[in-house]
Amino acid sequence: MASASQLPTIPVPGTTTPFQFPPTYSFPPFFTPQPNSSTRLSQLQKWSSLIQSWCRHHRVYRLSLIEAVESPLFHNAALRKRISLSEARAILDWMARGEEEGGGGKRSEWIDGGNKTMAWIWWRRPEEWAGIIMDWVEGTGQKNMVLTVYELVEGEGTMSQEFHGMDSDIMLKSLTILVKRGKAQVFGSEGQEGVKFF
């Protein structure tokens, strides 16, 4: 088994630290579906945690399984082990059912329905993003101001925020939650949306 210092890392443009894989990533059985139900549950939880951490580090919001099974996320080249596309789907199906320990809710959602090749990865769910966005609005005095979705995602004023650079579809999902809570109003046409916070 490789030590933590020998685990593979991925350098990412714009980041100073490469992704650190957990020790289980260097354990060959991690890449094979386990037949024992309690071992399988533990395996699914560890995969879910790894996928969320990897996506958060790389700022990935939508994961293409076709690409991911060829990436270091699902393919440990040092071990010559990878998970299959069907196993990747099974893991994301489990994440989408929201069976995380502690009732954390769904951590993935299929974007392409029955095809199951593209999924949202909720390293933060839209409800969580909605709260973070609202905290920023209140903390920066943006209430009753009109901002574009582009400004929220790409603007200079949000550069220090975790939601800067967010997938605009997730931003809109998060803003929809704020609309339902009576905290925002979204208007405008697709690609030109504006939002007013209350």
Q: Do 36 and 95 share a domain, yes or no?
A: yes
Q: Do 19 and 112 share a domain, yes or no?
A: yes
**pLDDT band per the 50, 70, 90 thresholds, residue 104:** low
In what side-by-side order are the strands of the sheet with 118-121? 62-64, 118-121, 108-110
Q: Do 54 and 144 share a domain, yes or no?
A: no
What is the C-alpha separation between 165 and 155, in angstroms, rounded? 9
Considering its fold, how many domains does the chain have in total? 2
State pLDDT tens for residues 5-18. Answer: 343 433 444 456 89
What is the C-alpha separation between 100 and 3, in angstroms, rounded? 28
State pLDDT tens for residues 122-153. Answer: 999 999 999 999 999 999 998 998 999 999 99
Q: Do 62 and 8 share a domain, yes or no?
A: yes
What is the C-alpha separation between 32 and 156, in angstroms, rounded? 45
What is the C-alpha separation between 134 and 170, in angstroms, rounded? 15
Among candidates 135, 122, 167, which has minimal Cα distance to 149?
167
**Per-residue model confidence (pLDDT) at position 16:** 61
What is the C-alpha separation between 2 and 183, in angstroms, rounded? 50
Q: Is the pLDDT of residue 100 over 90?
A: no
Q: Do 9 and 48 share a domain, yes or no?
A: yes
Q: What is the pTM (predicted TM-score) of this model?
A: 0.83
Q: Do 64 and 114 share a domain, yes or no?
A: yes
State pLDDT tens for residues 51-64. Answer: 999 999 999 999 99
Q: Do 49 and 145 share a domain, yes or no?
A: no
Q: Do 115 and 141 share a domain, yes or no?
A: no
Q: Do 99 and 133 share a domain, yes or no?
A: no
Which CATH number does the domain housing residue 107 bear?
1.10.10.570
The pLDDT of 15-25, averaged and rounded, is 87
Encode burial over 84-121: b for 16+ CB neighbours within 10 A, e otherwise: ebebbbbbbebbbeebbeeeeeebbbbeeeeebbbbbb
Q: Do 176 and 160 share a domain, yes or no?
A: yes
Please give the residue range of the domain that contains residue 190: 126-197
Q: Residue 48 is inside which H or E element, if any? A: helix 37-58
What is the C-alpha separation between 74 and 164, in angstroms, rounded? 27
Question: Phi and psi for 109 in degrees, rounded to 5?
Answer: -155, 130
**pLDDT band per the 50, 70, 90 thresholds, residue 190:** confident
- Choosing from 121, 139, 163, the residue where a domain stops is 121
Question: Is 146 in contact with 195 (CB distance < 8 Å)?
Answer: yes
